[in-house]
Amino acid sequence: MSLGLVSPSGRLAAVGFLAALGMLAVSWDAQARARKQSQGQAQPRAIQAQTSRPNYADIVVDDKTGQVLHEVNADEPRHPASLAKVMTLYLLFEQVEAGKLKLDTPLDVSAHAARQRPVKLGLKPNQTIKVEDAIKALVTKSANDAAAVVAEAIGGTEEEFAKLMTLKARMLGMTNTTYINASGLPADDQITTARDQAILGRTIQHRFPFYYRYFSTPAFQYRGAEIRNHNNLLGNVKGVDGIKTGYTDASGYNLTSSVRRDEKHIVAVVMGGSSNGARDARMRQLIEAYISQASTERTAPVIVEPPVQAAVPVEEAAPAAETPPSPVAAGAGADEAAKKTNAGQGQEPKPAAQATKAAVTSKPQPRRPARPASSKDKSATLNGADATSTAARPSAQPH
């Protein structure tokens, strides 16, 4: 029907109806675009939630008294990353001290070890690496292939070696720690706590005051290349003499530090840092805030554990090549009590015949916590390193 045959009021009604339809269409189109935009933004929000930084934790312990000077989330489960290598080295030091391995013993490189993800030395199957080079590679570069070599040399397989690591953790009072591999590479059930890592950080230097000095190695030469230590605090913070860094996506940036200053000794642990720089800055803060509160007098016994077997004569177990560097601040031992175990400069200390139990924590933790609820290890970024840069988080290789 033509609009010309419709009354003026009818024509106005028709025009109004058409205008309303147009406005409704525009509204529907705007709503559709808004829905599409909202749907497009939903996925990034989900991804952000999945990759949020792990929860932070730290602890500072006065080594001479065993007193906890400061702690945050110290008993919450965290992934150790390369802090696991401290236990790998603990078991290796046992073997060297017992004479089962020597520092110049060649260790076979398997296909399994060569396949480990970076960071690594690039070892090839059927090659060998000397024990001392493996120690330095773990301490400085945090080499995952070298960790697997050590594990297979002692445990037969890395899986069996991880069981030995967990058993040793229980013996040392690390009740909330479970190891799955020798390197700290991502594994859902590989968990620890800041408190447990402080126990290990104290015990390894009490138990092996001679071999602990490897942790102060700033760099070493391997096959013509200089490999520098990832621990940026060595040589830059007064009194720092070790011990280990670590990183995976699930763990964040971890660091255990030992500091000897003015006859005081503290061990501090930071876990879940957002970057190398942030982690190191927080550790510096903890050191400066709490070293003054530490005691100069030992009231807690030195943590000592019996050797695996009677130690071989010193001349057979002493380093075959270069000796470990001396710590930055104090002598070779953990303190004066630990120094008494040393036969002399350049000689292997004689371990005590019986274990002395020490109160290494102020809060015993009888239960094993559930594994962290942070981002899944299986989705961890595997293409970067615990780099020496203090910039924001790099595309870091877990180690």
- Residues annotated as catalytic (active site), given as ranges: 82, 85, 142
Backbone angles phi, psi at 183, to 5 degrees: -100, -30
Query: In 3D, which of 32, 45, 118, 58 has the Cα closest to residue 253?
Result: 58
Element (H, E) at 211: none
Distance from chain centroid for Cα 288: 22
Question: Under a CB-based contact definition with an 8 Å cutoff, are residues 248 and 362 in contact?
Answer: no
Question: Under a CB-based contact definition with an 8 Å cutoff, are residues 282 and 271 in contact?
Answer: no
- In this structure, the number of other CB atoms found within 10 A of the CB of residue 370 comes to 8
DSSP 63-122: TTT--EEEEESTTS-B--GGGHHHHHHHHHHHHHHTTSS-TT-EEEPPHHHHTPPSSS--
- In this structure, the number of other CB atoms found within 10 A of the CB of residue 124 comes to 11
Task: Tell me the sheet residues that pair with 107.
Answer: 129
From its phi and psi, is residue 108 left (phi > 0), alpha (psi between -120 and 50) or beta? beta
- Encoding tokens for residue 113? 């070890």
Long-range contacts of 229-236 (CB under 8 A, 24+ apart): 229/139, 229/140, 230/140, 230/141, 230/142, 230/385, 230/386, 230/387, 230/388, 231/255, 231/257, 232/276, 232/280, 232/388, 232/390, 233/257, 233/280, 233/283, 233/284, 234/328, 235/328
Q: Which residues contact 176 (CB under 8 A, 6 or more apart)?
A: 75, 77, 191, 192, 193, 195, 196, 365, 367, 368, 369
Extended strands (E) in the chain: 57-62, 68-72, 106-108, 128-130, 219-222, 225-228, 240-248, 252-261, 264-273
